[in-house]
C-alpha cells in the first residue's frame, strides 16, 4: 500500500501564531501567543499535517537581538505549543536585512523552496498562512495556496492592493484550520453508518 502524500502547511510566525510588534519581538517575554493559535496547530497535527514556520527575522541582522535570543524565543514557542498538545515540526527563518539581497527573505521564495526540499514535497497547493503581503507572495510564486489572516498586520494588508490571485481571507489561524479540516472531511467523507 502506498503511503499517503505528506500534508504540509507553512505558517508565518509574528501576527499569525503570536502577537506582532512594530518594535520586533526581541525576547521570549515579548512572545505572546494569539488566542486559539496553538490549539489550532494541535488540530492540524491531529489531522496529519506537518506544521512548519517560515519567518523573516531581520532583527538578528539589525543587531536588535542575537541568534541565541531567537533560539530562546522559538524554544518558548515550542514549549507553549507542546503544553496544548501541538507540535511545530520545523522553524525556518531568514536573519538578513532587506538590503542584503538574500534569497531567503520573503517575498523571495528561497525559504519556502528550502522547506519543500527538506520535506521532499511539491509546494503546489500547500497552504501558506500569513498576515503580510510578502508571506503570501513568497508562497504564490512557488504554487502554494495563499491564506491571509486578519490578525497581526492582516487588516492593513487586506486594505492594500496586490493580494495574490486566489488569496482566501480568514479572521485568524483558527478559522483557517476550521476551513482546511472541513475541506478534508468533504473530500474524504466518512462511510455512511450502517442502519
The overall pTM is greater than 0.95: no
Write the pLDDT tens digit of every residue in 44-71. 999 999 999 999 999 999 999 999 999 9
Would residue 182 show up in a list of annotated catalytic residues for this protein? no
Instruction: Output the furthest CA–CA distance in the chain (Å, rounded).
Output: 66
Alpha-carbon separation of residue 146 from 78, 82, 107, 114, 171 (angstroms): 24, 26, 13, 18, 14
> Residue 18 is placed in which grid cell?
503570536
Catalytic-labelled residue, pool 12, 131, 135, 172: 12
pLDDT of residue 2: 60
Residue 95, C-alpha cell as written in the block: 536573519
Report yes or no on 195 lying in a domain. Answer: no
Give the integer Cα–Cα distance in Å for 81 and 166: 30
Number of domains into which the chain is organized: 1
Range of the domain at 93: 7-187
22 catalytic residue (yes or no): no
Nearest to 160 by CA among 171, 170, 172, 148: 148
pLDDT digits (tens, 9 = 90+) for 81-135: 999 999 999 999 999 999 999 999 999 999 999 999 999 999 999 999 999 999 9
CATH, residue 153: 3.40.50.1000
Sort 1 into a burial class: Cβ within 10 Å, 0-12 / 13-18 / 19+.
exposed
pLDDT at 195 over 70: no
Does residue 12 lie in a domain region?
yes
pLDDT surpassing 90 at residue 194: no
In a domain, 193, yes or no: no
Q: Single out the residue of 124, 158, 129 nearest to residue 142, CA to CA.
A: 124
Amino acid at each position: 500500500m502506498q503511503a499517503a502524500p505528506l500534508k504540509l502547511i507553512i505558517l508565518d510566525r509574528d501576527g499569525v501564531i503570536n502577537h506582532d510588534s512594530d518594535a520586533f519581538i526581541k525576547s521570549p517575554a515579548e512572545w505572546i501567543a494569539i488566542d486559539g493559535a496553538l490549539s489550532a496547530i494541535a488540530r492540524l497535527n491531529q489531522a496529519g499535517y506537518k506544521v512548519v514556520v517560515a519567518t523573516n527575522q531581520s532583527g538578528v541582522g539589525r543587531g536588535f537581538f542575537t541568534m541565541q535570543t531567537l533560539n530562546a524565543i522559538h524554544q518558548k514557542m515550542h514549549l507553549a505549543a507542546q503544553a496544548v498538545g501541538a507540535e511545530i515540526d520545523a522553524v525556518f527563518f531568514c536573519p538578513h536585512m532587506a538590503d542584503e539581497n538574500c534569497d531567503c527573505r520573503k517575498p523571495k521564495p528561497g525559504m519556502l523552496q528550502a522547506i519543500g526540499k527538506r520535506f521532499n514535497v511539491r509546494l503546489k497547493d500547500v497552504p501558506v498562512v500569513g498576515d503580510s503581503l510578502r508571506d503570501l507572495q513568497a508562497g504564490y510564486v512557488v504554487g502554494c495556496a495563499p491564506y491571509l489572516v486578519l490578525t497581526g498586520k492582516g487588516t492593513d494588508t487586506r486594505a492594500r492592493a496586490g493580494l495574490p490571485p486566489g488569496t482566501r481571507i480568514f479572521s485568524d489561524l483558527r478559522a483557517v484550520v476550521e476551513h482546511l479540516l472541513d475541506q478534508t472531511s468533504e473530500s474524504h467523507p466518512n462511510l455512511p453508518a450502517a442502519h
